[in-house]
Structure 1
Amino acid sequence: MNGRKLIVYISMSLDGYLARKNDDISWLSMVEKKGEDYGYNDFTASIDTYIVGRATYDYIIKLIDHFPQAKKFDCYVITRKDRKPEDGVKFYNGDLEALINNLKKKEGKNIYCDGGGEIVRLLMEKRLIDEFIISIIPIVLGDGKRLFKGGVPEDKLELLNSKQYDTGLVQLHYKRK
């Protein structure tokens, strides 16, 4: 293997939610600050492949009517149904472990997983995630769609970095031991 890593880079509420039950993510805007990207541009410069679940993909399309990641990265949408590639997006419904292992064997930059919770759970079940970069947004939602759904094996992590921002956002960067 050439050292490519699968990295989950994602935001969640303090109580572990990605979105409200109705998929609302408007609360993320509470940490928007002109000129602050929380390391996103540096992170995306280190990746060339993007993986996301079908529900997250559909939400992005519904929200902004296109999928901007397809213009920058090799994009895979994980789905349960056969679907032909469209607009630079490959829809994948095969063995997720095989896909990740094949991607890690190829030459290239790191692989970015942007969720959602079901994809993260599937990847964690097989211990395929190498690193987590999680931005904690200073809000308690109380209910919604969880990032960590449970049902995965215990996995020890090592903190690589933590950074706090004046917006209240705290970013944690872990790698699997």
Structure 2
Amino acid sequence: MSGSEGDAKGQSVTLHVVSSLDGFIAKKDNSVGWLDGPGGVYEAGVSISEEEAAAFVKTIDCYVMGSRTYEHALELGWPYGDTPVVVVTGREWPPARESVEFYSGDLKVLVDERLKPRYRNIWLVGGAMLCQRFLELGLVDEIRLMIAPVLLGEGLRLFDGSVREERWSLKNVVGYKNGFVELLYSASGG
């Protein structure tokens, strides 16, 4: 878990997602229970303590997500604590938490005028269409792709062919004891 590259002011937008080996981020019914399945142990992998994970999560200043990811997070018991969260949606929502705000509009305005003046470390955590749109608009500074040791065969793809060809620079690779692998890429030129 290394720090982000970001821009000259140290700000960054990180696209963080977990994918199956065959490139799916959810099953067709949007379920992600496959993330919790038992797997083999990769002896050469690293493990991270709960304290280390908690300290890392505290470095994230703001999360951005779509409405389905928001619904899923509520079902999970809200893993984001009191960290500010922006839900990009056109749907009307009752306020569920003080730390959550809803946004519907231009994504460049959201990032450049609303988020970057307030936050340094912004994490985009889903869904697929929102992540693809951020990539299309050039709003992502780094991609943190966690690959789970499972083949799903079908489901919802993170990259469905709508993203243009673009080179990214590999910054780090970490293999974990649970068989997951994390790839960290930064936008070329950054």
Q: RMSD in angstroms over aligned alpha carbons?
A: 2.4
25-34 or 101-110: which moved more?
25-34
CA displacement at 1:153 relative to structure 2: 2.0
1:41 paired residue number: 54
Q: Tell me if the contact between 2:73 and 2:79 (Cα under 8 Å) persists in the aligned partners.
A: no
User: Is the contact between residue 15 and residue 144 of structure 2 (CA under 8 Å) also seen in structure 1?
Assistant: yes
2:57 maps to 1:52: no
The answer for the alignment partner of 1:123 in structure 2 is 134
Structure 1 regions of 5+ residues with no counterpart?
none
TM-score (structure 1 length as normaliser): 0.86
User: d(CA) in 1 for partners of 2:38 and 2:64?
Assistant: 24
Q: Distance between the aligned counterparts of 2:12 and 2:138, measured in 1?
A: 12
Identity of aligned residues (%): 31
**Residues 78, 104 of structure 1: CA spacing in aligned structure 2 closer, same or farther, 3 A cutoff?**
closer
Q: Relative to 1, partners in 2 of residues 1:116 and 1:105: Cα closer, same or farther, differing over 3 Å? A: closer
Q: 2:105 aligns with which of 90, 94, 99?
A: 94
The one-letter amino acid of 1:25's match is V
Indicate the larger mover: 84-93 or 161-170. 84-93
What's the TM-score, normalizing by structure 2? 0.80
Q: Counterpart of 1:5? A: 12
Question: Which of 147, 150, 168 pairs up with 1:139?
Answer: 150
Aligned to 2:5: none
Q: What are the equivalent positions in structure 2 for 1:71-86 lying under 5 Å apart?
A: 71-83=81-93, 85-86=95-96
How many residue pairs align between the two structures? 173
After the TM superposition, which of the residue ranges 108-117 and 85-94 deviates more from structure 2?
A: 85-94
Structure 2 counterpart SS, 1:51:
strand
Please give the alpha-carbon distance, in whole angstroms, between the structure 2 residues aligned to 1:161 and 1:31.
Answer: 25
d(CA) in 2 for partners of 1:141, 1:68: 25
Ranges in structure 2 where 5+ consecutive residues have no aligned partner: 1-7, 42-46
Q: How far 1:151 moved relative to its partner?
A: 1.2
Query: Which has more helix, going by share of residues?
Result: 1
